C-alpha cells in the first residue's frame, strides 16, 4: 500500500472518482509546503479550506452514486466520509484559532493522507467495483412485444 501519497495502486477504474482523488491528493500535498516558512500556517489554512469544500463535494457525489445504484455499503461508507470531514474541520479550526504550529499541521496532514489512502483502497475500490457491475441507469428492459394481429 502506498505510504500516504497518491499512486497508481489507488486507481479505482472509475474515471470521475479517480480524477477527483488525484485533485484531493494534490491539495493535501500542498497543505504543508515547508514548515520553516513563516507563512506555512496561512497557506495551510487556505489549502485546508479548499480541501474541505472539494472533499465535501466529492463525498456527496459518491454518496449520490451509491444511493442511485442501491449500493449495500452506503451507510458505512457515508459514516467514514463523515469522520473524515470532521477530522478536516477540526484541523481547520485548530489552525485558524492559532492553536497549532506548522509541525503539528504537518503531522495532521500525514495522518489525513494516510486516511485518504486507506479509504480509497478499501471503501472507494469497493464502490467503483460495484458501480462497474451495476451501471446506472440500468439498461432499459425489452419493450413489450406488440401483438402482430391487426386491431378490430
Ligand atoms: Fe469514499
Ligand atoms: Fe473517494
Reported as type and span, the H/E element at residue 93 is helix 74-96
Give residue 148's pLDDT: 61
- 90, part of any domain: yes
- 138, part of any domain: no
What secondary structure does DSSP assign to 20-66, as a single string?
A: HHHHHHHHHHTS-S-TTSTTHHHHHHHHHHHHHHHHHHHHHHHHHHH
Q: Are 74 and 63 in contact (CB under 8 A)?
A: yes
Nearest CA to 83 out of 118, 107, 110 is that of 118
Ligand 1: centre distance to CA 26 (Å): 17
- 25, part of any domain: yes
The conformational region for residue 62 under phi > 0 = left, psi -120 to 50 = alpha, else beta, is: alpha
Nearest CA to 48 out of 38, 56, 60 is that of 56
- 15, part of any domain: yes
What total of structural domains would you count in the chain? 1
Ligand 1: centre distance to CA 149 (Å): 54
Query: For 4-59, how does the pLDDT look when each residue is reduced to its tens digit (9 = 90+)?
Result: 788 899 999 999 999 999 999 999 988 887 767 888 899 899 999 999 999 999 99
Cell 463525498 sits on residue: 59
Ligand 1: centre distance to CA 66 (Å): 10
Tell me the residues surrounding ligand 2 (ion) with CB < 5 Å: 124
- 140, part of any domain: no
Q: What CATH number has the domain bearing residue 126?
A: 1.20.120.50
Smallest-distance ligand from the CA of 11: 2
Task: Give the list of residues 6+ apart from residue 40 with CB closer than 8 angstroms, or none.
Answer: 32, 33, 34, 102, 105
Structural domain for 120, as ranges: 8-133
pTM score of the predicted model: 0.84
- 44, part of any domain: yes
Q: Is 33 exposed, middle or buried (0-12, 13-18, 19+ CB in 10 A)?
A: middle
- 142, part of any domain: no
Query: For 62-83, how does the pLDDT look when each residue is reduced to its tens digit (9 = 90+)?
Result: 999 999 999 999 999 999 999 9
Ligand 2: centre distance to CA 31 (Å): 19
- 151, part of any domain: no
Amino acid at each position: 500500500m502506498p505510504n500516504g501519497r497518491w499512486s497508481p495502486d489507488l486507481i479505482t477504474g472509475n474515471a470521475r472518482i479517480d480524477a477527483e482523488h488525484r485533485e484531493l491528493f494534490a491539495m493535501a500535498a500542498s497543505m504543508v509546503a515547508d514548515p520553516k516558512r513563516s507563512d506555512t500556517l496561512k497557506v495551510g489554512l487556505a489549502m485546508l479550506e479548499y480541501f474541505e469544500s472539494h472533499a465535501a463535494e466529492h463525498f456527496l457525489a459518491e454518496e449520490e452514486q451509491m444511493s442511485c445504484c442501491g449500493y449495500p455499503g452506503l451507510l458505512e461508507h457515508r459514516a467514514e466520509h463523515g469522520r473524515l470531514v470532521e477530522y478536516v474541520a477540526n484541523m481547520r479550526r485548530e489552525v485558524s484559532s492559532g492553536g497549532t504550529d506548522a509541525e503539528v499541521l504537518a503531522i495532521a496532514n500525514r495522518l489525513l493522507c494516510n486516511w485518504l489512502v486507506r479509504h480509497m483502497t478499501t471503501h472507494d475500490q469497493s464502490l467503483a467495483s460495484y458501480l462497474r457491475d451495476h451501471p446506472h441507469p440500468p439498461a432499459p428492459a425489452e419493450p413489450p412485444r406488440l401483438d402482430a394481429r391487426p386491431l378490430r
